[in-house]
Amino acid sequence: MKRSCSNDRMQNFIHKFARNVSFLTLALFPYFNPLFSQDSATSSSIVELNDSLVKINEIIINRNSRTVTFPARIKMTKGLIEVLLCKPQGKTHESLFVTDISHIELQTALLLLGLMPFNNSVNNVSTLKTNHSREFHADSLMIFVEWKDSLGCHNENAEYFVWNKIREESLPPSSWLFQGLPIIDDKIQTSAYFSMIVTYDDPFAVLVLNSPDKNDDRLFYVNEKMPLTSGMEVQIILETYKL
């Protein structure tokens, strides 16, 4: 049977992705361009817990609910942000959350759900561009934040933690594009310094806000109306976007 165009693109991406990853038993050992190999997580154990749950270190993939869940911490409680999530080595001065999972673990989790990235495949760094159009041929996700306090367990859209300074309101519920790590000269590029999820456009991020507002670096601040405490532990939940 002839594959659809979307399946062809997914198979082509996975082929390129797999050429940079050596599977030993149930472990991933990515081989990256030395210029971008500063990510400290060089291996990721993949364990199938049951028919619906798969674990990659601290990430839980639920194939029934179509979600990816992992731990993070509040980094900023006020100020201008361009990043929703990064590693401790990343742009923490402008990131709302930080996490210890790696970019390659996150991307692998999304691929295991069957999601297809819009990824930038180019020959060199200087030609790496981000498509600023909202019309992408890629999958998108919703992002939720879950935390516990003395009042119980809470779950909110991640956008409620982001304040639009111009409109004087929180960011409305949005989708986030699975942009995927860029491929340069057929090599997946990753680094602990790269941002993971961004509100301001970044060609090296895994997920980017699906809105034209992503092109304005003056818009977004931490929503100080939310109950934020620096270092507070949360769970980030990525859910397949439903139209």
The pair of structure tokens assigned to 220 is 């977004």
The pair of structure tokens assigned to 203 is 């060609």
Range of the domain at 212: 5-240
3-class secondary structure per residue, the chain = CCCCHHHHHHHHHHHHHHCCEEEECCEEEECCCHHHCCCCCCCEEEEECCCCEEEECCEEEECCCCEEEEEEEECCCCCECCEEEECCCCCHHHEEEECCCCHHHHHHHHHHCCCCCCCCEECCHHHCCCCCCCCCCCCEEEEEEEEEECCEEEEEEHHHHEEECCCCEECCCCCEEECCCCEECCEECCCCCCEEEECCCCCCCCEEECCHHHHCCCCEEECCCCCCCCCCEEEEEEEECCC
**Looking at residues 166-175, what average pLDDT do you find?**
94
The number of distinct structural domains making up the chain is 1
Tokens 């996150």 found at: 106
176-226: per-residue pLDDT in tens? 999 889 888 778 888 999 999 999 989 899 999 998 889 888 999 999 999
pLDDT tops 90 at residue 4: no
Q: Which of 14-23, 26-35, 38-47, 143-152 is modeled with the greatest confidence? A: 143-152
pLDDT of residue 129: 56
pLDDT of residue 175: 94
